[in-house]
Chains A and B, each alone.
Chain A
Amino acid sequence: MDSSQDIPQHLSSLADILGSEVDVATLDKLHALSNGDLNRAINHFYEGTYLNATNPNSSTTRSPFNSGQISSASKRTLTLAGFGVQHKTHGSNSKDGQNQLSDSSKRRKVHDSFFPKYLGEITIIAYALGGLVKAQAGDTVCFVRSKPSVLPQTGGRKKPSSGWGGKGIKENNVVRFTTQKGFEIGRLQVDTARWVSKLMDFGLAEFQGSIIYTPPILSTGAEIVLSMRCYLTAAAFSTLEASNKLLGTRSKQSMTIVNDSLETEYEVELKNRKFAVNLMFKELDLAPISVNNPAGPRDRSIEVHSATPEPATGNPAEDGDEKEEEQEVSDKELDVLYEKAQQHGREFAPMDPPKTLTYTLKPYQRQALAWMYHKECLESDDNEHKTLHPLWEEYEFKTEDGHIKRPEDPTKYYFNPYSGEISLEFPTSDKLCRGGILADEMGLGKTIEILSLVHSNKMDRSGLYGPDEFFSRLSTSVGERRRLSPTTLIVCPMSLISQWRDEAINSSDGSLRIEVYYGGTRDWDDETLLQRDAPDVLITSYGTVLSEYSGLVGGLENGKSVKGMSSITDIMAQNDWKKGSALFNVEFHRVVLDEAHHIKSRMTKTAKACYALSSSRRWVVTGTPIQNKLEDLFSLVHFLRVEPWSDFSFWRTFVSIPFESKDKDKALKILTSVLEPLVLRRTKSTKDENGDPIVMLPERTVEIEYLTFSEQENDIYQALFKDGKTKFNHYCQAGSVLRHYASIFQLLMRMRQVCDHPYLFVGKSKSSQPSGGPLDVKDGPIQLEELMAKFSEGGEPSFGANVLHNLMSGAEVLECPVCFEDMADGVLMPCMHAACRTCVLDYLQRRDNKGEVGECPVCRQGPISEDDLIEYSTSSAPVKDEPAKTEEGCSDFVAGNVLGSIGIASDVKGKDGEGTGTNRVLQIRRNNFKSSAKLDALMRHLNSVRKQEPTTKSVVFSQFTGMLDLAEAILERDGFQFLRLDGTHSQASREKTLEAFKNPDHPALVMLISLRAGGVGLNLTTASRVYMLDPWWNYAIESQAIDRVHRIGQTKPVVVKRFIVQDTVEEKILSIQNRKNALASGLGMTKDESQNARMEDLQVIFS
């Protein structure tokens, strides 16, 4: 502060405190009025009492502290430390209007002398430090934070607490109290000092005290009884908007982010502040006069406990790790939770969507529409009468003795124990959630329900500008208007974008404008979304939301050092909002998160990005609002901004902690009450009012097919199993199982892979492979040239050439010399004798069993092994789009250009009779492919289904993409056409693939899907057969995959086969699935809670 240069010496301290705005005359007057007492002078100044005072001595009354009470309001003694901190605030508060003080701030509406506001008084015990100071009952004392050697007055502006002591040094909580002259008397007890120091440091409160009792001699440690009055400063009463910015958003964010290992200084500060304020309220024994807490009255003991700040690393209770620790919700508990949610919709008459929706809704869907419409519209009426925000409590100011209350002064104040905020303004719960969780089970048509809502509740666009009026609106104050967009933003996984778009387009009569905001199509200006012709529906992916969000946040973080996490509000305020980041620059008419369990983890950036989307109508759509943990639900609630549950500390207090502490019933009860108004959930088995199921789906049969390993497979598996068991036992004995989770899981993984196919485990390492051939499926097709060359050298060129000619011309269908069948599936031996693949393999196997080397059954030329076989198959069409294979050519292979497959016209029936009269393609490839028990079983089913129902489509799931590779090979071998979907596919190719599969004319009968890529969202109702090649730890995942086929739209009975190899880890997985505790969350292998269960699981597996 630049102090005026003309200030006389005796006024300089006062001038320092009051600021340069105060002129010398005023200072002088204050000085005179207060007899040179600095504190009094300041009081006079702020209370304005000096203005009317004429007699310097008349305003100061007699001994002010008889009976330990302050008798006059004008006599308030402020702590000097408090002064230092509060200096600025006071400066701006002094705008009573009647004096000459300039003021820079016009924010406060309350009479400024209102602050510091008396809150209450307590009696405390302090102890003396000894010394020569004289003190007696009735004396006023000052509370001081700084060290006695430093005179607080000269400190003037004390540094904020964060500077105190520096890092690594034990926190300094010492509060001393001094005589008015500044001589130290003693210290407060630690219990008291703990919070008093914090409040003083933060400048939230000021304290004044008087001595009630003191022993005659102040020996060291002597107890002194003090009366301490607490006053809240103006800073404590942050306005709601400021607190939103400072604390509301940030504290929420800070709770959301505590996981980021170490809390930032700022977050610690917030926590300390909350803790201190709470303690003060408790110590002062303040009781709210009104609360609006849906969970019932607050239990202080819980709150204080959870509010206790822990030094340095932060409160473990709020540490992000608890997410892992939190117990899983059992199915039964889930049932209870959902039960209520199922009731919804019935209380509303089914609602008909407008005619712009071309689909006819089923009754339950019309009920859903009614419910959602109701949720969106009705609550706006409720806003009329304000209700207290559920996180806040209402308090009444106590009247300070002798203090004259101005009629315009507020009488009530509001306290938020969860954040430590205090406010004079009525905190309304006007941010009522308009939206909810649409949790209908998969396949009930959530998409169409949402679309019907889009049709039914549109925003009135008349207030919007057309594109040509763009400039005119620029002239209006953009800052003040809400940037309302008429658009419904739909956020979904990338794989579902096209499904949403198609459904949206198909269900509309054309009156709806639907756009996709993804990838290259993101050339949107946010202004476009605000105009009258903005799209009705904008579909985007989580990834897009995330990348726009990170772009913004990231840009900011680079720009300046961010303290803690930046809220989007901060960024909005500080950043010039980039053009093109349209998503975060408007307030959408409605935001819908599809498959919302994508944000189940509140710590993820995706979740944070979604929280930051702005809209007053917020919906989440998911078939599984709780996947494993209650915390999953919190994230949804937080997105929905359902007060008070969207506050994490509140959630923890009433839901998480009780749930973890076995007080589950209470937690569930509360949760039910949270969920009830929020969630609509129907399942396929939900009954309508007539008791009929709301959906009639065709039957679904899930059968487990137990398979047996071939001898070779079994050898490999047993070897692996023994190895694993040895290691596991070793770890058990050493007690180090938990430390070796990773390697144990790797063992398990290998065992599971071998159950699918030994190649998955053996991989490409040639040496370790018993049969000696590499897994080299892709290199299968070989060139005829090569063959020809080989046989030209090989002595019998004419025979070899003849065979090939025969094969290609198709003039003569070769008969297998072993089974006498036509060779649809033949192999050539190196001697160019041909036979069925199965016949040859069978023969070779038998010879192998007898310890004999393989040889050609026809000419006994050998030795030959499976890998030497050259495969050819006469499938009816190309399997893949590799041009080489579809090339039609007859005998020009001699010219040397033709690869290993040639299309030939043939009217010969193939083995399975499907190839009649079509262009047959002859494929020649090395038979280095080995099947497995699983693949054999799969092919057996596929072949028999193809024979019996040639149009039936099948879906094959595996969690190993390697297994899908192998399945591809074997499908090719048997002449199946197929499609494939896994994580590596781009959005465009996924779309294409799904589209192709849906097309009944597309020849592909089989879809290979990786369990992870195909678990969610997809609609595969064109298929009616499902094959699960391998079991997943958690059956829910498999079930979800099956539901891709067995969902609305399915017309045929669905048959599901789950392949399980007997006496292997797979069988054990089945039993673990049944127990459901399990290693459920994939490879989650960290936390104690489930470790015991996991140990048991492992012991089962390795038993």
Chain B
Amino acid sequence: MAAANLPKRIIKETERLMADPAPGISAQSHDDNLRYFDVIITGPDQSPFEGGIFKLELFLPEEYPMAPPKVRFLTKIYHPNIDKLGRICLDILKDKWSPALQIRTVLLSIQALLSCPNPDDPLANDVAQHWKENENHAIETAREWTGKYASSD
């Protein structure tokens, strides 16, 4: 792997993520591709995702940090801002990206998104509809999914 042309920033971020991980978040880069991270986010307390362990993949594109990282849930999750394919609707991953943001801040934001689903800016329309029409039922479904797909075995 050509680590030689890896920007210093990525190396530093990786090191810092290892040395000082954020609570409930872990990210580890692949040995054969230092731009590719395996990410695990634990579901926040008092959320329908509590107790779940969510796997994500994170990839730093060539333009990073000028362009945002690409992040996707691998674990199925019932969330109005996350679709079936695991894609995430989060402004900082799109137009609100700033190069001052980092992997850590992105993952923290995703963690926060789990705490506060936003059905008004949906990605998964059916889930969002469900959330709006019957929030309690929707939360229940989310819990079920968490237990079904994101439980640590």
Q: A843-B66, A846-B66 are in contact. Are A820 and B8 (CB under 8 A)?
A: yes
Chain A residues contacting B99 (CB-CB under 8 Å) are 817-818, 839, 843, 857
Residues of B within 8 A of A855 (CB): 98
Range class of the B interface residue count: 10 to 19
A821: chain B residues within 8 A (beta carbon)? 8-9
- A688 CB → nearest B CB, Å: 51
Query: For window 40-93 of chain B, which residues contact chain A by CB distance below 8 Å?
Result: 65-66
B19 interface residue (CB < 8 Å to A): no
The answer to whether the Cβ of A860 comes within 8 Å of any Cβ in the partner chain is yes
Q: Which residues of A contact B (CB under 8 A)?
A: 817-821, 833, 835, 839, 842-843, 846, 855-858, 860
B30 interface residue, CB < 8 Å from A?
no
Most buried by A among B13, B66, B100: B100
- Assembled-state Cα–Cα distance A487/B66 (Å): 72
Bound-state CA distance A820–B17 (Å) is: 14
A-B contact pairs, 29 of them (CB 8 A): A817-B99, A818-B9, A818-B65, A818-B99, A818-B100, A819-B7, A819-B8, A819-B9, A819-B65, A820-B8, A820-B9, A820-B12, A820-B13, A821-B8, A821-B9, A833-B100, A835-B100, A839-B99, A842-B66, A843-B66, A843-B98, A843-B99, A846-B66, A855-B98, A856-B100, A857-B98, A858-B98, A858-B100, A860-B98
CB distance from B22 to the nearest CB of A (A): 17
Return A815 CB to nearest CB of chain B, in Å.
8
> Are A857 and B13 touching (Cβ within 8 A)?
no
Bound: A835/B98 CA distance, A: 13
Bound: A16/B100 CA distance, A:
113
CB contacts (< 8 Å) of A842 on chain B: these are: 66
Task: Report how far A855 CA is from B101 CA in the complex, Å.
Answer: 14
> For residue A857, which residues in chain B have a CB less than 8 angstroms away from its CB?
98-100
Question: B residues touching A (Cβ–Cβ < 8 Å)?
Answer: 7-9, 12-13, 65-66, 98-100
Question: Which 9 A-B pairs have CB atoms at the shortest separation, nearest pair first?
Answer: A857-B100, A820-B9, A817-B100, A818-B99, A858-B100, A857-B98, A820-B12, A857-B99, A819-B9
Q: How far is the CB of B61 from chain A (nearest CB, A)?
A: 13
With a CB–CB cut-off of 8 A, which chain A residues contact B65? Answer: 818-819
Taking the nearest CB of chain A, how far is it from the CB of B41, in angstroms?
Answer: 23
Chain A residues with CB under 8 Å of B66's CB are 842-843, 846
Alpha-carbon distance between A857 and B96 when the two chains are bound, in angstroms = 10
For the complex with contacts A817-B100, A818-B9, 10 further pairs of A-B residues with Cβ separation under 8 Å are A818-B65, A819-B9, A820-B12, A821-B9, A839-B99, A842-B66, A843-B99, A846-B66, A856-B100, A858-B100
- Chain A residue nearest in CB terms to B13: A820
Bound form: Cα–Cα A833–B98 in Å? 14
The answer for the CA separation of A458 and B100 in the assembled complex, in Å, is 77
Residue with the highest number of chain B CB atoms closer than 10 Å, among A820, A821, A833, A835? A820
Q: Whole-angstrom distance between the alpha carbons of A819 and B13 in the complex?
A: 10
| Closest chain A residue to B63, Cβ basis | A846
Report the separation of the CA atoms of residues A855 and B98 in the bound assembly, to the nearest whole angstrom: 9
- Residues in chain A near residue B7, CB distance under 8 A: 819
Chain A residues contacting B100 (CB-CB under 8 Å) are: 817-818, 833, 835, 856-858
Chain A residue at minimal CB-CB distance from B10: A820
How distant is the Cα of A60 from the Cα of B99 in the complex, in angstroms?
Answer: 125
Q: How far is the CB of A619 from chain B (nearest CB, A)?
A: 62
Q: Whole-angstrom distance between the alpha carbons of A819 and B9 in the complex?
A: 5
Complex Cα–Cα for A820 and B9 (A): 5
Within the assembled complex, what's the spacing in Å between the Cα atoms of A855 and B100? Answer: 11
Which of B7, B8, B12, B98: most chain A Cβ within 10 A?
B98
Q: How far is the CB of A853 from chain B (nearest CB, A)?
A: 13
Tell me the bound Cα distance from A821 to B13 in angstroms: 12
Which residues does chain A contribute within 8 Å of B98, judged by CB atoms? 843, 855, 857-858, 860
Least Cβ distance of B104 to chain A in Å?
A: 12
Distance A817 CA – B12 CA, assembled complex (angstroms): 11
CB distance from A834 to the nearest CB of B (A): 11
* A1073–B7 alpha-carbon span in the complex (Å): 43
Query: B8 — which chain A residues lie within 8 A by C-beta?
Result: 819-821
Expressed in whole angstroms, the minimum distance between the Cβ of B92 and any Cβ of chain A is 10
Docked pose: A539 CA to B39 CA in angstroms:
80
Q: How far is the CB of B27 from chain A (nearest CB, A)?
A: 16
B residues in contact with A843, CB < 8 Å: 66, 98-99
A408 to B59, CA, bound (A): 118
Q: CA separation between A855 and B96, bound complex, in Å?
A: 11
Docked CA distance A835–B101 (Å)? 13
Complex-state Cα separation, A819 to B7, whole angstroms: 8
- Cα of A774 to Cα of B66 in the assembled complex, Å: 28
In the complex, which residue of chain B has the Cβ closest to the Cβ of A846?
B66
Which residues from B are CB-within-8-Å of A833? 100
| Chain B residue contacts of A818, Cβ below 8 A | 9, 65, 99-100
Max count, chain A CB within 10 A of own CB: residue among B9, B12, B66, B99: B99
Q: Which residue of B lies closest to A835 (CB)?
A: B100
Q: Which residues of the partner chain B approach A835 to less than 8 Å between Cβ atoms?
A: 100
Could you tell me the distance between the alpha carbons of A464 and B8 in the complex, rounded to whole angstroms? 80
Q: How far is the CA of A839 from the CA of B64 in the complex (A)?
A: 12
Per the bound structure, the CA–CA distance linking A855 and B97 in Å amounts to 11
- Compute how far the CA of A860 lies from the CA of B12 in the bound complex, rounded to whole angstroms: 23
The complex places the Cα of A856 from the Cα of B9 at a distance, in Å, of 19
Question: What's the minimum C-beta distance from B91 to chain A, rounded to whole angstroms?
Answer: 11
Name the distance in Å between A390's Cβ and chain B's nearest Cβ.
Answer: 77
Chain A residues, Cβ within 8 Å of B9: 818-821
A818 to B98, CA, bound (A): 9
Separation of A857 and B97 alpha carbons in the complex (Å): 9
C-alpha spacing A839/B65, complex, angstroms:
10
Minimum CB–CB distance from B102 to chain A (whole Å) comes to 9
Q: How far is the CB of A15 from chain B (nearest CB, A)?
A: 113
Contacts of A860 in B (CB 8 A): 98
Chain A residue with the shortest CB-CB distance to B96: A860
CA–CA, A842 and B100, complex, Å: 13
Q: Compute how far the CA of A854 lies from the CA of B37 in the bound complex, rounded to whole angstroms.
A: 30
Q: How close is A831's CB to chain B, nearest CB, in angstroms?
A: 12
Complex CA–CA separation, A855 to B13 (angstroms): 23
Distance in angstroms between the alpha carbons of A936 and B64 in the assembled complex: 23
Chain A: minimal CB distance from B49 (Å): 28
Q: How far is the CA of A857 from the CA of B65 in the complex (A)?
A: 11
Can you name the residue of chain B whose Cβ is closest to the Cβ of A840? B99
Tell me how far the C-beta of A579 lies from the nearest C-beta in chain B, rounded to whole angstroms.
75
Contacts of B13 in A (CB 8 A): 820
Task: Give the residue name and chain of the A residue nearest to B101 (CB).
Answer: A857
Q: How far is the CA of A855 from the CA of B12 in the complex (A)?
A: 25
* Chain B residues in 8 Å Cβ range of A817: 99-100
